Amino acid sequence: MGEPTVTTLEGRAEAAAPPVADETTGRRFLRRRTPGRPRLWFEILLIAVSYWTYSLIRNAVPEQRAEALRNADGIWGLEQRLGLAFEESVNHAVNSVTWLVVGMNYYYATLHFVVTLGVLVWLYRSHPGRYAATRLVLFTTTGFALVGYYLYPLAPPRLMNGQDFIDTVLVHQTWGSMASGDLKNMSNQYAAMPSMHIGWSVWAGVTIFALATVPWARVLGLLYPAATLVVIVATANHFWLDAVGGVICLGVGYGIALLWYGRQPYALPRQVPEREKRKRKRERERIPVPKQG
């Protein structure tokens, strides 16, 4: 077959380019979307509704006690085969120092929320151009965690049968966990894998390290998830493999953000481009159409 032709305004015939697949089709999810300016009222509402939904779904997951305990035995056995079953030793060592274990109980109960919300507020105020993408990472990570809670119920070490783990909240009578003491009926006790204490703390730590300009703040960003790992193990609320699960969920979150925005959140502009600037850019990129006549 002959090549199709088009006629220019000058009346000359020339071969048209053979039809090819649109190159942008394969990159549709990799195009660089421009984040919009976050609205305070919308963000407050979104965070409140999202956390309420997260808590509702997490606690609605059937508490499959027998399966959760079997899975805990499996995790503990795997760690023993790896030679990395150190949680019980850490739990007993920290429990022997009252002021330290009480502090860790309160750390576990509060910083999980306080630091995460604090980083979101800091992003909103100081890095609005990166806020939406970084928030997407956090929300996606949490969404995948809910899937894990449903598919793999897991008892925390302190609830295992035949082991000598200490529930530090019960022993020291401190308010340290929604899954211990008087608050245990308000939370699903068998939603330990993955650990969102780790998922959220690594998210916060990486964000601070990547965007903070003050050296001591960047150091704190690195120390925060490390300290959180010690706390979740010392209080017998998680195995260290739960932390691995949290990091995997976080990796998925960063992958989704990369697909959506075409860049990692921290590579986006700090400020949201003004609407007029975006409009002028679109006008410059528009292909001019020659006038006929």
pLDDT for the residue numbered 72:
96
Q: What angle do CA 90, 92, 95 make, to 5 degrees?
A: 105
pLDDT for the residue numbered 48:
79
> Per-residue pLDDT averaged across 6-30, rounded?
46
Task: Please give the structure tokens belonging to residue 5.
Answer: 């032709």
pLDDT for the residue numbered 80:
95
Greatest CA span in the chain, whole angstroms? 93
Q: In what helix (H) or strand (E) does residue 14 lie, and over which residues does it extend?
A: strand 13-15
pLDDT for the residue numbered 44:
77
User: pLDDT band for position 21 (50/70/90)?
Assistant: very low
- Higher pLDDT: 48 or 157? It is 157
What's the Cα-to-Cα distance from 120 to each of 72, 136, 182, 186, 270, rounded to whole Å?
Answer: 33, 11, 30, 26, 14
Share of residues in the chain with pLDDT > 90 (%) = 57
User: Which pTM value belongs to this model?
Assistant: 0.78
- Higher pLDDT: 46 or 137? It is 137
pLDDT for the residue numbered 69:
93
pLDDT tens, residue by residue, 170-224: 888 876 555 555 555 556 788 899 999 999 999 999 999 999 999 999 999 999 9
CA distance 212 to 214: 6
pLDDT for the residue numbered 5:
47
79 within 8 A of 157, measured Cβ to Cβ: no
pLDDT for the residue numbered 238:
96
Assess whether pLDDT exceeds 70 at residue 15: no
Share of residues in the chain with pLDDT > 70 (%) = 72
> Per-residue pLDDT averaged across 231-255, rounded?
97
- Higher pLDDT: 78 or 33? It is 78
Assess whether pLDDT exceeds 50 at residue 251: yes
- Higher pLDDT: 61 or 214? It is 214
Instruction: Report the mean per-residue pLDDT for the chain.
Output: 82
pLDDT for the residue numbered 128:
92
pLDDT for the residue numbered 180:
55
Residue 191 pairs in a beta bridge with 154
User: pLDDT band for position 31 (50/70/90)?
Assistant: low
